[in-house]
Amino acid sequence: MFDVFRAMYKIILPIRYLVKRRITYFAVISVCLCVFIVLVVMTVMAGLVDEFKQKNHQFAGDCVVGTKSLVGFAYYQEFVELLEKTDFVEAVSAAIKSHALISRMDSDRKTRVEIMGIDPAKHGRATGFGQSLHYHKDDVARAFEPGYEPNLPSCVLGIDLELQRDAGSTYTYQTNPSRIGYSISCLPLTAKGALAQAGTDMVDTKTFYYSDNSRTGLPRVDGSLVYLPFEQAQQLCMAGSVKRANAIYVKFKPYVRLEEGCAKVASLWESFRQKKSGEEQAYLLETVTVQSWKGYRRESIAPMEQEQTVMSVMFGFVAITTVFIVMVVFYMIISHKSKDIGILKSVGVSNFDVIELFSGFAFLVGLAGSGLGLLGGWVFLVEINQIEKWLFERFGFQLWDRTIYAIGDIPNRVELKVVVAILLSAIVACLVGALVPSWQAARQRPAAILQVNQL
Amino acid sequence: MSKDAFLLTAEGLHKSYRMGSTQVKVLKGVDLAVKKSEFVAIVGASGSGKSTLLHILGALDRPNKGVVTFEKRDLSRFSSGELNRFRNKTVGFVFQFYHLLDELSVLENVYLPAMTGRSVIGWFACRKWAKNRARELLAQLGLAERAGHKPYQLSGGERQRVAIGRALMNEPTLLLADEPTGNLDSAAGNGILEILGRLNGAGQTVVMVTHDERIAQRAERIITLVDGKIEHRHTK
């Protein structure tokens, strides 16, 4: 029966080999370096991806009922009311989404932006909108009331539209928002998707005053999104007698699982859609989908996840390299130890015992290497932000240029499951690397080893 | 004499090795019998096949043809587990180049066979006995003060005495010595031969391989091996 602890010498000898043979140190150092690199990069990458997902979740709530069409869909109020009556929904917020041109009143330069019309109180409950604000963080319902003149029509700008991020990833805010007007122009669409005719009562350009900034940490959002009051955005973008919206953001009660909640919303939507099938603008409901925040933000998240997958594949190659290094080192160790194998066999040790002996040795190499690598990696991660700060102050080097990337501190939270996975992988890599040399060593004829130049 | 009276017998042993493209015949039909408590020396020139014969007698190697019996049991019928136990408990080997484990101390080298033959629990149960037995053996071999040393800290003669201690650890029925003095100066070699003689005097069966006729004179029976065949048997 396979049992590493079947005999005491299988514990004593591997420990002595580990401590006394200098060549073993190379195997330990190889494993240590690989584990160090894998732990550091996996932690940072996983941290960045998790942080990015978290920001996307904050931005989109739990579930989004929406359409990509700029025309939007009708009867949204009824569906919002329906959702609000359910026992699994915490908050709901309808939104208008469209594209627009924006220019400061004191400038002729026009910039393309996305606009989102929301009810700030509702949107703050359904998403992390409130937390993204600077001046109205604690009073999100009044996000569109600038401190200098609350009754002015106002907007909340994505932070990168208004402020510059410095190298420390921080923005310099004024104590109160300045009175700056922005002219926002939009092309209002009819329910049929046509441009509303000029000269009608539709408003397509309006001035909004800067009320606050929104900092979601999502570069595309912060660099191009302007929040407007819901009704005013609706007037800007949607022509027609039946009111329309582009999306409904839903937040579930805390105990509701994401998939379960989304399935319930999808089921409700399907019933609602069928009920409305005879209505005048029912055709607009056909383009509406129900998605979890992950699905809704898939286009943003997927590249990050893909990068993480690529990194994992690369680390797969690192692991294979480790196996080969360990294999080479073990071939060298075992070729040095062939005499020991002969001696052990002469005192009754079996082939299988020899494999177990060297597997025990490989286990110790893996354990020592990964232990040192994990310890080193952990210490490095604890200090990674200090190290980066020091490098920046001394040499102007930053891992990610904060004026370009919307990253705060480098994520350095070490996950226990990652540690365990790396430790086990390193040990398995060592065992795999040692298997072939051990097997070959076990097959050696003791007489051939011990019979030195004699026949 | 009846075949049953022998501790160890070998009949028609053939052994050949492949060296490159040629087949080298090392043993060409060797017959041999060793009685209990006998001291047998196998003499032969280098390449005559004496070490190969010794390895086959100690189950470190298998013959291509022929039968080896120990206490009337055919070794070729032993399972691999039985062969391992045979090498661990019944036979003790002494090699020309000592073959000690450098990572272990002298004491640990001596009690190694006691450790390899037992489970961890079994080892803890008999550890005290094994250490005492190993210390006793080292004292008998004049190495009591060297128990904590490493093999590389000892002289050639001392190392060979440690190897004898290891071979005797499990009180084997048969002691096989392959050129035990071949790597030693004459004083150290004489010391080793005295120990082997003393052990034989105490009833230990010894089969020794040597190329030196004078050393072989210490044995009570000398078998001369020439080109893989026994050419001469001489009993004192």
Domains within chain B, CATH numbers bracketed = 37-55+77-235 (3.40.50.300)
Cα(B111)–Cα(B44) distance, integer angstroms: 32
**pLDDT at site B3:** 59
The region that residue A433 occupies, defined by phi over 0 for left and psi between -120 and 50 for alpha, beta otherwise, is alpha
- Stretch B91-97: mean pLDDT, rounded? 91
Express as a percent the part of chain B with pLDDT over 70: 98
- The shortest C-alpha distance from B5 to chain A (Å) reads 27
- The shortest C-alpha distance from B184 to chain A (Å) reads 16
CB contact under 8 A, A348 and B85: yes
- Tokens at A313, concatenated: 């594949």
Q: Which residue has the tokens 């996840």?
A: A305
Chain B contact for A99, CB < 8 A? no
Position with higher pLDDT, A126 vs A20: A126
Q: Which residue has the tokens 């960045």?
A: A48
Give pLDDT tens digits for A35-75: 999 899 889 988 888 888 999 999 999 999 999 999 999 99
Reported as a pLDDT band with limits 50, 70 and 90, residue A6 is: low
Reported as a pLDDT band with limits 50, 70 and 90, residue B228 is: confident
CB contact under 8 A, A7 and B26: no
Reported as a pLDDT band with limits 50, 70 and 90, residue A453 is: very low
- Stretch A373-387: mean pLDDT, rounded? 95
Q: Which residue of B has its CA nearest to A452?
A: B97
Q: Has residue A405 got a pLDDT over 80?
A: no
User: Which of A1, A2, A341, A346 has the most B C-beta neighbours within 10 Å, making it the best mutation to test the interface with B?
Assistant: A346
Q: Which residue has the tokens 């492949």?
A: B18
Express as a percent the part of chain A with pLDDT over 70: 95
Position with higher pLDDT, A297 vs B126: A297
**pLDDT at site B1:** 54
Q: Report the sign of the C-alpha dihedral through residues A112, A118, A120, A126, in that order.
A: negative
- Stretch A94-110: mean pLDDT, rounded? 90
Of A67-76, A188-197, A445-454, B209-218, give the lowest mean pLDDT range.
Answer: A445-454
Reported as a pLDDT band with limits 50, 70 and 90, residue A1 is: very low
Q: Which strand (E) or helix (H) includes residue A149?
A: none
- Stretch B50-60: mean pLDDT, rounded? 92
- Stretch A145-157: mean pLDDT, rounded? 91
Q: Supply φ then ψ for residue B35, to 5 degrees.
A: -85, 160
Chain B contact for A23, CB < 8 A? no
Reported as a pLDDT band with limits 50, 70 and 90, residue A163 is: confident
Of A196-200, A379-383, B108-112, B169-173, give the lowest mean pLDDT range.
Answer: A196-200
Question: B interface toward A at CB cutoff 8 Å?
Answer: 17, 24, 26, 46-47, 49, 51-52, 55, 58, 60-61, 80-81, 84-89, 93, 95-97, 99-104, 108, 112-113, 115-120, 123-124, 166, 178-179
CB contact under 8 A, A447 and B115: no
Interface A–B counts its CB contacts (< 8 A) at 100
Reported as a pLDDT band with limits 50, 70 and 90, residue A200 is: low
Q: ipTM for the complex?
A: 0.90
Give pLDDT tens digits for A411-428: 899 999 989 999 998 899
| CA nearest neighbour of A113 among A103, A104, A100 | A100
Residue extents of the structural domains in chain A: 4-53+301-450, 68-287
Reported as a pLDDT band with limits 50, 70 and 90, residue A26 is: confident
Q: Report the sign of the C-alpha dihedral through residues A33, A37, A40, A42, in that order.
A: negative
Rounded (10°) CA dihedral B165, B167, B173, B179 = -110
- The shortest C-alpha distance from A367 to chain B (Å) reads 21
- Stretch B34-55: mean pLDDT, rounded? 91
What is each CA distance from A372 to A30, A51, A359, A415, A426, in whole angstroms?
A: 11, 28, 20, 17, 12
Position with higher pLDDT, B122 vs B10: B10
- Tokens at A388, concatenated: 């980066």
Chain B contact for A349, CB < 8 A? yes
Reported as a pLDDT band with limits 50, 70 and 90, residue A197 is: low
Greatest alpha-carbon span in chain A: 111
Chain B contact for A338, CB < 8 A? no
Q: Which strand (E) or helix (H) includes residue A40?
A: helix A22-60
**pLDDT at site A324:** 82
Cα(A93)–Cα(A229) distance, integer angstroms: 12
Q: Has residue A454 got a pLDDT over 50?
A: no
Of A101-115, A199-213, B191-205, give the lowest mean pLDDT range.
Answer: A199-213
Greatest alpha-carbon span in chain B: 52
- Could you say which residues from 317 to 336 on chain A have a Cβ atom under 8 Å away from some Cβ of chain B? none
Reported as a pLDDT band with limits 50, 70 and 90, residue A4 is: very low
**pLDDT at site A404:** 67
Query: Over chain A, what is the mean pLDDT?
Result: 87
**pLDDT at site A285:** 92
A445 contacts in chain B (CB < 8 Å): 61
For residue A347, give the nearest of B81, B87, B119 by CB distance.
B87
Position with higher pLDDT, B91 vs A192: B91
**pLDDT at site A32:** 93
Q: Which residue of B has its CA nearest to A451?
A: B51
What is this structure's pTM? Answer: 0.75
Q: Supply φ then ψ for residue A316, to 5 degrees.
A: -60, -40
A343 contacts in chain B (CB < 8 Å): 99-101
Q: Which of A187-196, A302-311, A374-383 tops mean pLDDT?
A: A374-383
CB contact under 8 A, B120 and A20: no
**pLDDT at site B4:** 61
CB contact under 8 A, B55 and A6: no
**pLDDT at site A202:** 52
Q: Are the CB atoms for B186 and B193 separated by under 8 Å?
A: no
Position with higher pLDDT, B78 vs A241: B78
